[in-house]
Amino acid sequence: MSRREPTHAIIMAIVLLGPLMAVPGHVMAQAVQGRTVSSGTSKGLAAIDAGARDGKYTFLFFWKENDQSAQSMYQVFQSAMSKWSDSTYSIGIQLTDANEKPVVDKFGVSRAPMPLVLALAPNGAVTKGLPIKFDENQLRQAFVSSCTAKCLKAIQDRKLVLLCVQSRRTQFNDAAWKGARDFKADARFAGATEIVPLNPDDPTEAAFLKDLQVDPRTPQAVTVLLAPPGQPIAKFVGAVSKDQIVGKVASAQSGPCANGQCGPGGCGPKK
């Protein structure tokens, strides 16, 4: 916030005073934290652009009617945003505001439950969607590690992710990396694959590795294959070849339960 402009200070004042007074609709619509840049007439898009440029998270508070639920959630939202103002931009967006139609359409939230908060990482990944009721703790969960944001972005773009967990001390780094690169070079998967390197020694990635059930002290490189909407469908420890990865993708696509086609008897082989 070192480059904060005068207008920003005024907006901050509104934000900080927000909880002390009733929250009328126009305030929710206009309260923007952080610097804004020109992006048409949409303040929402401008905030997202600013977040991407400044490496900050952007929190969007969508609301439809200025009712009790929207007001109380907006107070929770503003209270949290005021605490994280150095690392975030935030804005309230009314669905019916014609100027904000681009941002409403961008996320397809015109028929979403309201109020709704979307948290965006600097790379544009939606790191959390919180509809109707939420608290500060849930908002805090929107801050994710760099690799998590990269993976989320790729998944939300309907891409496969090859998460290469490697460090200087892990073995088979080159072989694992080559397998991932060869897979991405394959014309069948090139456009829909993202390779994300992850250093297991990075403490900020510990929670992500825990979710993926990968030991941060792994002596060998680990390659995790993630598929939309976010499932880890394969984990390769040590060296991995392109054919092995292709095989896992193929079995995931054509397995007995691919596309949710298995019946009440579970996932046994079916005709």
Query: Rule CB under 8 A: which residues touch other proteins?
Result: 108-109, 111-114, 118-119, 126-129, 131-132, 141-142, 144-145, 148, 151-152, 155-156, 158-160, 192, 207-208, 211-212, 226-233, 249, 252-253, 255-267
Question: Rounded to whole angstroms, how far apart are CA atoms 253 and 257?
Answer: 9
Q: Please, what is the minimum distance in Å from the beta carbon of residue 61 to other proteins?
A: 15
- Of 197, 188, 181, residue with least CA distance to 146: 197
Q: Please, what is the minimum distance in Å from the beta carbon of residue 150 to other proteins?
A: 12
Nearer to other proteins by C-beta: 35 or 153? Answer: 153
Question: Rounded to whole angstroms, how far apart are CA atoms 158 and 155?
Answer: 5
Q: In what order do the strands lie in the sheet with 116-120?
A: 32-33, 88-94, 57-63, 116-120, 126-131
Nearer to other proteins by C-beta: 134 or 172? Answer: 134
Nearer to other proteins by C-beta: 1 or 124? Answer: 124
Q: Please, what is the minimum distance in Å from the beta carbon of residue 201 to other proteins?
A: 19
Nearer to other proteins by C-beta: 27 or 227? Answer: 227
Q: Please, what is the minimum distance in Å from the beta carbon of residue 171 to other proteins?
A: 25
| Helix extents (H) in the chain | 6-17, 25-30, 43-54, 68-83, 101-107, 136-140, 146-156, 173-185, 206-211, 242-254
Q: Please, what is the minimum distance in Å from the beta carbon of residue 117 to other proteins?
A: 10
Nearer to other proteins by C-beta: 6 or 264? Answer: 264
